[in-house]
Structure 1
Amino acid sequence: MSKNNKQTTKSSLLEILLVSTRLGFTSFGGPVAHLGYFHEEYIRRRKWMDEKSYADLVALCQFLPGPASSQVGIGIGAMRGGLPGAIVAFLGFTLPSVIALILFALLLQGLVIGHAGWIHGLKIVAVAVVAHAILGMAQKLVPDLKRKGIALAALIITLLWQTAFTQVGMILFAAFLGFLLYRNHQVPDKTKIDFPISRRFAAVCLTLFFALLLLLPVLREATSLSWVAMFDSFYRSGSLVFGGGHVVLPLLEREFVPTGWMSEEAFLAGYGATQAVPGPLFTFAAYLGAVMDGWAGGLIATAAIFLPAFLLIFGTLPFWASLRQNPKIQGALMGVNAAVVGILISAFYHPIWTSSILAPVDFAFAALLFSLLVYWKLPPWVVVLTGVIGGMLIGMLY
């Protein structure tokens, strides 16, 4: 590579880092809002991709498990600067909230938070935020009676048998039902993405994704290393989540709370705090890892939960044009998305509702926060701040 080409590459990577870092500090509002910020910054302002390619990339990331907005950012970075560009775009968008949540976890260590009023306020914020997510997802993902039935079955089964195996089994069963019910579903018009990754490298990434998914639990049982167990739990959660960051809550809660790695109060306090920071919701893992094993645990958890996103986006983009035209795959995805809605409602009831709404005043405050978020459309950080202050006031009254 010539000196001029190296300088151009460095300049391009620096530009990706600066733009993505600014987005990492300012992108509040969750995955849907992030996609809007990306469109404004990357597509309209800088024209790094055309509209069709961006829409196709978003469609792929909605199809894959994992954090959709982060995967879109990784894909844009890869198309702008190859593999280094993808890594730089991810770091810029993710590190601000990772650092903030690790610091929050370290500050909470040694504090008795179970009965703190502001913690209770954060838990009520989680009620409002997840309720909002459920409504939005249900309107989009379960519009007809068949998918409503799949969602209802997922709700009942995952609520009565609360294990990670139940959730995975329900997702697989929903994919099978979707395949049967929607295999003749009309697919969208074909579009094409030019992606600077070879099919051979893509195949390696997909192989590594499935190999880690199968081998990490075996390695966990064969060793007594806590970081291996942590890596396995976060990697599996990041691999099995369809529907965005809010859906990772039940998987992570059932990985770490019943096993005694952390208290339910600490778990929900971090989930509430995650709503107050910009960037992807999956950075909640940084908080959980830091609670369990300090700053090093926070970094391990972050790497583990986002690694599937990298492997899947690199592994599928070169094949996406042909995959997207397969109506059977589309039908299976429709079934999976419906099941995700049911799983999210199950998690909304337990642990979120059962541990947060303890009295009529809690329900009234949750309704207020929900209205501020949905009807008055206030920024999430304002709703979180209101929740903290309201929780402290409720704590002084009772």
Structure 2
Amino acid sequence: MSDTPETNTRPWAVLLIFLRLGLTSFGGPIAHLGYFRDEFVMRRHWLSERSYADLVALCQFLPGPASSQVGIALGLSRAGYRGALAAWVGFTLPSALALVLVALSLARYAQAIAPGVLQGLQMVAIAVIAQAVWGMARALCPDIPRIIFMAVATCAALLLPSAGQITVIALAASSGFLLFKPRQGTPHEPLPITIRRRIAMLWLSLFCALLIGLPILAKLSANQALAQFDAFYRVGSMVFGGGHVVLPLLEAEVVASGWVSRDTFLAGYGLVQAVPGPLFTFAAFLGASMNGAPSGWAGGLICLVAIFLPSFLLVVGVLPLWERLRRNTRAQAALMGINAAVVGLLLAALVRPITATAQHAPQDLALALLALVALMLGKLPPWLVVIAGGAAGWLLSFF
């Protein structure tokens, strides 16, 4: 039975609905979109099937976490800006709190953790990345030109790390714009959200001003909090594909700078598979695990807000322009190049820990392979594989 319109328009009602989803939505971004469809299209009838498909298409077109952006847009459509904030808080809060608590526990009680557990979690992370690479490659690199884009991006990330992932994405966008020729989109229903174009342009201007201004301010200031905010804001602004694609960009920002060790990074990425909600809450774990201030709760909050802020600004800024963008085949061509390149970046992020592990403990690679089989062939839920991986790492430490 669907809710009454009066109930749906209250921000607190939106908060409670998304809080329940944030507590129960396991399985990653694709699964989240399925939960949203069941909740808001089939059960509550907030929008039609076609409108929901268009909203998903828009959020996949934008950089950032697609499932969270869909949630923000749904909250915006029901209760305005407060509804958008309520939807984000409800969906994000459970996993963010859990990951900050885990990060604090690792920092304080690291010596009490059974040997091998963290190594096991790192191997699960490798398996999860491998599964993501395979699935995304099949969907986003279905032909020879896009496979070449993927291969070039992988080689660039491995051989020229100083070039940076943002440079690779920018080159892929410009090359895709020139080379690809996507088909014209099919007729569709307008999205059920109205924002004046003047207001939308203000939001987009703020997005661009922060993207340009934050790096300048971070270089002029020695404040690490500002540097963290800048790094996570840029990641949230440049991650096309969402979900696991965030891994190589975050690794480049926090591991290369020495803010977080590689072992902690991979262990946290394994743990984030065991909690519900958006994968981008990994930012809260990293912020709480920072070497130097701010860290803990303050660091987690700074990094969490920074990585999601671009999603807010882009959703409210691009919605009024979506009708024109949807028909623009050149914009779609650029996105095809970007999508192929981010698969390559993710593949490069997989190669690094595999090569490092192969030099130390072959049994760890065997554990990663078993985790991959459990995920892809056994279809086991990620949280269960994470628990089993930690236990297996502990057992292997005795041999």
Pair 1:246–1:10, CA change in 2 (3 A): closer
Note the 1:106-125 alignment, pairs <5 A.
106-112=104-110, 116-125=115-124
Q: Distance in 2 between matches of 1:174 and 1:64?
A: 15
Note the 1:102-251 alignment, pairs <5 A.
102-112=100-110, 116-163=115-162, 165-183=163-181, 185-251=183-249
| Paired amino acid for 1:55 | A
Instruction: Work out whether residues 8 and 78 of structure 2, in 8 Å CA contact, stay in contact via their aligned partners in 1.
Output: no
Q: Alignment partner for residue 317 of structure 1, among 316, 319, 327?
A: 319
TM-aligned CA deviation for residue 355 of structure 1 = 4.1
TM-aligned CA deviation for residue 266 of structure 1 = 1.2
Pair 1:16–1:184, CA change in 2 (3 A): closer
Note the 1:241-390 alignment, pairs <5 A.
241-292=239-290, 293-350=295-352, 352-357=353-358, 358-390=360-392
Instruction: Work out whether residues 185 and 330 of structure 1, in 8 Å CA contact, stay in contact via their aligned partners in 2.
Output: no
Deviation digits for residues 276-325 of structure 1, max 9, x if unmatched?
A: 11000000000111112110110011000000010111110111011110
The DSSP-based 3-state class of the residue aligned with 2:164 is helix
The DSSP-based 3-state class of the residue aligned with 1:127 is helix
Pair 1:160–1:188, CA change in 2 (3 A): farther
The DSSP-based 3-state class of the residue aligned with 1:275 is helix
Q: Distance in 2 between matches of 1:200 and 1:232?
A: 26
TM-aligned CA deviation for residue 137 of structure 1 = 0.4
- The farther-off stretch of 22-31 and 252-261 is 252-261
Gaps (5+ residues) in structure 2?
none
Q: Distance in 1 between matches of 2:74 and 2:9?
A: 16
Instruction: Work out whether residues 203 and 316 of structure 2, in 8 Å CA contact, stay in contact via their aligned partners in 1.
Output: yes
TM-aligned CA deviation for residue 43 of structure 1 = 1.0
Give structure 1 regions of 4+ aligned residues with deviation exceeding 6 angstroms: none
Deviation digits for residues 246-296 of structure 1, max 9, x if unmatched?
A: 111111111111221121111111111111110000000001111121101
TM-aligned CA deviation for residue 183 of structure 1 = 3.5
Instruction: Work out whether residues 137 and 341 of structure 1, in 8 Å CA contact, stay in contact via their aligned partners in 2.
Output: yes
TM-aligned CA deviation for residue 186 of structure 1 = 3.3
Pair 1:145–1:282, CA change in 2 (3 A): same
| Paired amino acid for 1:211 | A
| Paired amino acid for 2:150 | A
Deviation digits for residues 186-232 of structure 1, max 9, x if unmatched?
A: 33334311313221111111111111011001000111111100100
TM-score, normalising length from structure 2?
0.94
Q: CA RMSD in A?
A: 1.7
Instruction: Work out whether residues 8 and 79 of structure 2, in 8 Å CA contact, stay in contact via their aligned partners in 1.
Output: no
Gaps (5+ residues) in structure 1?
1-6
Instruction: Work out whether residues 260 and 289 of structure 2, in 8 Å CA contact, stay in contact via their aligned partners in 1.
Output: yes
Pair 1:96–1:284, CA change in 2 (3 A): same
Instruction: Work out whether residues 124 and 371 of structure 2, in 8 Å CA contact, stay in contact via their aligned partners in 1.
Output: yes
Indicate yes or no: 2:397 matched with 1:395.
Answer: yes
| Paired amino acid for 1:378 | L
| Paired amino acid for 1:345 | L
Instruction: Work out whether residues 184 and 327 of structure 2, in 8 Å CA contact, stay in contact via their aligned partners in 1.
Output: no
Q: Alignment partner for residue 68 of structure 1, among 66, 69, 77?
A: 66
Deviation digits for residues 60-107 of structure 1, max 9, x if unmatched?
A: 111111001100111111111111111101100000001001111111
Instruction: Work out whether residues 191 and 321 of structure 1, in 8 Å CA contact, stay in contact via their aligned partners in 2.
Output: no
Specify the alignment match of 2:83 in structure 1: 85
Deviation digits for residues 315-358 of structure 1, max 9, x if unmatched?
A: 101110111101111111101100011111011112x3234454
Pair 1:303–1:184, CA change in 2 (3 A): closer
- The farther-off stretch of 192-201 and 233-242 is 192-201
Q: Distance in 2 between matches of 1:10 and 1:53?
A: 18
Q: Distance in 2 between matches of 1:268 and 1:109?
A: 15
TM-score, normalising length from structure 1?
0.94
Pair 1:274–1:184, CA change in 2 (3 A): closer
Instruction: Work out whether residues 120 and 356 of structure 1, in 8 Å CA contact, stay in contact via their aligned partners in 2.
Output: no
